[in-house]
């Protein structure tokens, strides 16, 4: 089959919304409650708690160093009060989709956790409100890679071969094989799952953060976090290359030389806790 036809086929398979990973039914119930202004956090937490396996995974994640409350959150309701629904929803999505990840994606979960921790660390250093929201964007930034691997394992094998044999960056290998990369898949997923705009921009623009228009800071921070996670070799993003930081990002975020050194120290210390 000609390469152009193959790319069209891959794109069609990803765009077939019915084939995209579905989220737990509990999340649909929770979404309905959140849209009701009369719902309480107690009601929402009780719905999540009905899925014991999912609840255990959420509590394990919220008690990690990523969200700034290690070992302190004992219930879903407490997590909701401290972190907010968007953070909990992001954690549920990540634990659900990454469950589908096969052994070919080994190292990506660790890379994603590292990016989440770096994102929240950078957000705190910059004085951002709700750094946990940035952590969720970091956690989900490579979710499109998982979807491609699960939906199209043959394409994933070709991408891996291009990375190895041609010494390509993973994102370049995706574009070469598929005609698009995981950041585009991220955008489709965000639309499919009705994720909030700040998360959508972080996931869709972390490789081209200056193109984000509504929430550029989210994309810029995840861009930096991805750089640090690769620099310190936390997990694997699919290749062993470290892309350069866009200097426009540093200017946009107001990162001086002194602040850069401080962030570098903070991220290194945070990674030591993983």
pLDDT, tens only, 194-224: 888 999 999 999 999 999 999 999 999 999 9
Residue 192 above 60 pLDDT?
Answer: yes
Residue 240 above 60 pLDDT?
Answer: yes
| pLDDT tier, 10 (very low <50, low <70, confident <90, very high otherwise) | low
Res 17: pLDDT: 43
Res 16: pLDDT: 57
Res 251: pLDDT: 97
Per-residue model confidence as pLDDT tens digits over 171-181? 999 999 988 89
Spatial distance between the Cα atoms of 11 and 152, rounded to a whole number of angstroms: 11
Average pLDDT over residues 242-248: 93
Res 21: pLDDT: 59
Contact yes or no for 223/206 (Cβ under 8 A): yes
Spatial distance between the Cα atoms of 208 and 97, rounded to a whole number of angstroms: 24
The residue that leads in pLDDT, 33 or 192, is 33
pTM over 0.85: yes
Per-residue model confidence as pLDDT tens digits over 12-21? 666 554 455 5
Per-residue model confidence as pLDDT tens digits over 97-134? 887 665 557 789 999 999 999 999 999 999 999 999 99
Burial of 11 (0-12, 13-18, 19+ CB in 10 A): middle
Which domains can be identified in the chain, with CATH numbers? 22-99 (no CATH), 104-274 (1.10.3210.10)
25-34, 79-88, 156-165: which is most confident: 156-165
Handedness of CA 242, 69, 45, 39 (dihedral sign): negative
Res 14: pLDDT: 65
The residue that leads in pLDDT, 151 or 269, is 269
Residue 8 above 70 pLDDT?
Answer: no
Per-residue model confidence as pLDDT tens digits over 130-149? 999 999 999 999 999 988 88
Res 256: pLDDT: 95
The residue that leads in pLDDT, 2 or 265, is 265
Res 4: pLDDT: 53
Averaged pLDDT of the chain: 88
């Amino acid at each position: 089959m000609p390469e152009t036809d193959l790319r069209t086929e891959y794109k069609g398979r990803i765009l077939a919304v019915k084939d995209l990973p579905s989220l737990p039914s509990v999340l649909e119930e929770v979404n309905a409650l959140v849209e009701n202004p009369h719902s309480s956090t107690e009601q929402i937490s009780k719905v999540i708690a009905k899925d014991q396996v999912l609840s255990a995974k959420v509590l394990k994640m919220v008690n990690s160093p990523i969200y700034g409350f290690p070992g302190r959150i004992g219930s879903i309701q407490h997590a909701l009060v401290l972190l907010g629904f968007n953070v909990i929803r992001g954690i549920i999505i990540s634990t659900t989709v990454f469950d589908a990840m096969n052994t070919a994606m080994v190292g990506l979960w660790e890379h994603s956790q590292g990016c989440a921790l770096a994102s929240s660390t950078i957000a705190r250093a910059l004085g951002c409100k709700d750094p946990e929201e940035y952590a969720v964007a970091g956690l989900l930034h490579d979710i499109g890679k998982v979807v491609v691997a699960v939906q199209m394992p043959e394409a994933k094998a070709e991408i891996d071969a291009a990375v190895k044999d041609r010494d390509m960056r993973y994102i370049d290998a995706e574009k070469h094989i598929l005609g698009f990369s995981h950041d585009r898949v991220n955008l489709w997923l965000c639309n499919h799952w009705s994720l909030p705009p700040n998360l959508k921009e972080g996931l869709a623009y972390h490789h081209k953060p200056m193109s984000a228009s509504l929430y550029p800071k989210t994309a810029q921070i995840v861009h930096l976090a991805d750089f640090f996670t690769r620099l310190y070799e936390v997990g694997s993003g699919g290749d062993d290359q470290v892309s350069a930081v866009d200097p426009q990002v540093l200017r946009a975020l107001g990162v001086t030389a002194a602040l850069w050194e401080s962030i570098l120290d903070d991220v290194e210390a945070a990674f030591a806790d993983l």
